[in-house]
């Protein structure tokens, strides 16, 4: 990860209900999430999107929430437990070099990469890991904050995603973000 990892205490602000005024998780995720899906959420913070993902995948679904900050995961688990959704979420501690997904290769239907790829030390490695975890045809929503990520950096991320085997299929409008929906090709380039 880069030196710009969101500090754990900022997670309280990012999980605030006020944020729903410009980024409503229910509306944002509804077109892409179906009951029974397996969803990967790297960098979930304290669960602004995680709770909605867990609701939308339903009791037969599964969310894999991966973060490098133990304090974020501790608060995420507390919030999920309070909402009665803890049994639908596998909250995992990652390392700076790996998301730790070797046990879920080829099982992920959807990845939510929201405002976190720019914090990765090696974003190309992130896309490669996400591609290996994803089923052929799986989707990845990449959204980066316009104020933090220059257009050139976002374009570089799209090139790295393409090298990992993803294709841009949609450009949704998300407040204060640059965003794309990517689809994993059936054939993924060797790593």
Domain hosting 174: range is 24-184
Q: Tell me if 50 sits within 8 A of 65, measured CB to CB.
A: yes
Structural domains counted in the chain: 1
Residue 84: CB partners within 8 Å, gap ≥ 6? Answer: none
> What CATH number has the domain bearing residue 107?
3.40.50.150
Residue 127, CA distances (Å) to 25, 43, 164 in order: 23, 14, 6
pLDDT tens digits along 102-151: 999 999 999 999 989 988 889 999 999 999 999 999 999 999 999 879 99
**In a 10 Å sphere around its CB, with 0-12 CB exposed, 13-18 middle and 19+ buried, how is residue 111 labelled?**
buried
Please indicate, yes or no, if residue 94 is contained in any of the structural domains.
yes
Name the pTM for this structure. 0.88
Q: Tell me if 126 sits within 8 A of 120, measured CB to CB.
A: yes
pLDDT tens digits along 34-69: 999 999 999 998 788 999 999 999 999 999 999 988
pLDDT of the residue at 3: 45
CA quadruple 152, 174, 180, 114: dihedral positive or negative?
Answer: positive
Percent share of the chain, pLDDT over 70: 85
């Amino acid at each position: 990860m880069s030196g710009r990892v969101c500090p754990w205490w900022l997670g309280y602000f990012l999980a605030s209900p006020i944020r729903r005024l410009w980024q409503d998780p229910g509306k944002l995720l509804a077109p892409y999430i179906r009951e029974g899906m397996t969803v990967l959420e790297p960098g979930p913070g304290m669960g602004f999107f995680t709770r909605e993902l867990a609701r939308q995948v339903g009791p037969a679904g599964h969310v894999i929430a991966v973060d490098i900050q133990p304090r974020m995961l501790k608060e995420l688990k507390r919030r999920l437990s309070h909402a009665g959704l803890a049994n639908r979420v596998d909250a995992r501690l990652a390392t700076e070099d790996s998301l730790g997904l070797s046990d879920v290769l080829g099982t992920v239907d959807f990845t939510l990469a929201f405002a976190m790829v720019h914090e990765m030390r090696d974003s190309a490695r992130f896309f490669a890991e996400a591609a290996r975890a994803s089923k052929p045809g799986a989707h990845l929503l990449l959204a980066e904050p316009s104020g933090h990520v220059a257009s050139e950096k976002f374009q570089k991320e799209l090139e790295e995603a393409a090298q990992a085997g993803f294709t841009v299929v949609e450009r949704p409008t998300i407040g204060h973000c640059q965003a794309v929906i990517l689809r994993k090709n059936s054939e993924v380039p060797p790593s």
